[in-house]
Amino acid sequence: MSAYAHHHHHHHGHKGTGASASSHNHEYFNKLAAEYDERHGKTLDRLIEEIRARLDFIGVAWVDDDDDNNNGDGSAVDDATTRAKKSEGTLEKTVRLLDYACGTGVVSRALAPYTTQCVGIDLSENMVAAYNTRAENQGLTPSEMHAYHGNLCVPEDPNPPAFASPEFTNFDVAAVGLGFHHFDDPALAARRLAERLKTGGVLMILDFLPHEKLDASHPATQTITHHGFTEEHIRRIYEEAGVGKDFALQELAAVFHLSKENGEEVKRKIFIARGTKA
Ligand SMILES: C[S@@+](CC[C@H](N)C(=O)[O-])C[C@H]1O[C@@H](n2cnc3c(N)ncnc32)[C@H](O)[C@@H]1O
């Protein structure tokens, strides 16, 4: 039995940490952090491939996105010169990614070769620790890839002091991988992320298309606020957050595999959406 099968169904309000889903997410993902990569390894590898296959679709002026710098199979090329310049901080061009609800950092890992800095934020301090361990193990410096513990979606806390410094604003791209269905208020999340983009910056969301509910016994049930999203819903979220310019959504070829408590496999369709801050 997995450690988090003993999920307690408490409903106390956590004032100041956001509404109901946040405390469940915090507890659930703290327990899942250590096994997240192993459990979802294959799916995460597919997601990385699919994100990299859509660099043009996402539409950011990436570093290293010219064809000369391509292995031919679409895989990452972080050539030595660019790498050296990045760590010296002497690469003139900067492309900064905010990876929100970053988890262990799959979106950052997908986009790191095409950016100069990845900044992760997550509600779970254990996820943040896993993200930072992976970044260090890859030989990346904190100025290249680092995550922080926090929540930008607390209604009564629009400007958390911990995220007030310039390092946390003016991003070229803000991305959320499989996080939106956990948020109490996805529209608020999109607005808070849009505020941290520069004009012309891109909000990228990867999440599930509409699906059936998990049965109530699944330990993740209380962490989920939305059973997927329709294209119309996502488009409205982008438009209302001021990032609806050139909005586009595509379904990925990869599906997300989840195993139910009874061992049954569930497959979820995944979309990728993008829109520009006008
Ligand atoms: C399914 S995981 C996805 C992680 C990673 N982005 C990925 O694609 O593998 C969802 C993540 O969202 C985080 N999370 C949930 N609610 C959050 C919130 N309000 N603010 C920040 N992170 C949140 C959880 O802690 C968890 O790490």
Q: Tokens 């070829």 correspond to what residue?
A: 253
Q: Tokens 């948020």 correspond to what residue?
A: 183
Residue 47 in any domain: the answer is yes
Residue 234 in any domain: the answer is yes
Best residue among 124, 132, 225, 252 to mutate for probing ligand 1's pocket (most ligand atoms within 8 Å of CB) is 124
pLDDT in tens, the chain (278 residues): 333 333 333 333 334 444 479 999 999 999 999 999 998 899 999 999 999 999 999 999 999 755 444 444 444 445 677 777 766 666 679 999 999 999 999 999 999 999 999 999 999 999 999 999 999 999 999 999 999 999 999 999 999 999 999 999 999 999 999 999 999 999 999 999 999 999 999 999 999 999 988 888 888 889 999 999 999 999 999 999 999 999 999 999 988 888 777 778 889 999 999 999 99
Distance 60 CA to ligand 1 centre (A): 23
CA-nearest residue for atom 1, ligand 1, is: 178
Q: What is the pLDDT of residue 261?
A: 73
Which pTM was predicted? 0.87
| C-alpha Rg value of the chain to the nearest Å | 18
Q: How far apart are CA 100 and CA 111, in angstroms?
A: 13
Q: What is the pLDDT of residue 263?
A: 79
Residue 52 in any domain: the answer is yes
Distance 179 CA to ligand 1 centre (A): 5
| Beta strand ranges found along 79-231 (DSSP E) | 96-100, 117-122, 145-149, 171-177, 197-208
Q: Where residue 258 sits, what CATH number does that domain have?
A: 3.40.50.150
Residue 232 in any domain: the answer is yes
Residue 3 in any domain: the answer is no
Domain with 86, as residue range(s), is: 39-68+82-276
The count of domains in the chain is: 1
**CB burial string 18-34: b at 16+ within 10 A, e below:** bbebbbbbbbbbbbbbe
Best residue among 35, 123, 152, 207 to mutate for probing ligand 1's pocket (most ligand atoms within 8 Å of CB) is 123
Q: What is the pLDDT of residue 65?
A: 52
Which atom from ligand 1 is nearest to the alpha carbon of 25?
15
Q: Tokens 């361990």 correspond to what residue?
A: 133
Q: How far apart are CA 6 and CA 271, in angstroms?
A: 32
Which atom from ligand 1 is nearest to the alpha carbon of 36?
9
Q: What is the pLDDT of residue 1?
A: 33
Task: Please list every protein residue whose CB sits less than 6 Å from any atom of ligand 1.
Answer: 22, 25, 29, 101-103, 106-107, 122-124, 127, 151, 153, 177-179, 182-183
Which atom from ligand 1 is nearest to the alpha carbon of 28?
25
Distance 68 CA to ligand 1 centre (A): 35
Residue 8 in any domain: the answer is no
Residues with Cβ within 8 Å of 83's Cβ and at least 6 positions away in sequence, in order, are none
Residue 30 in any domain: the answer is no
Residue 12 in any domain: the answer is no
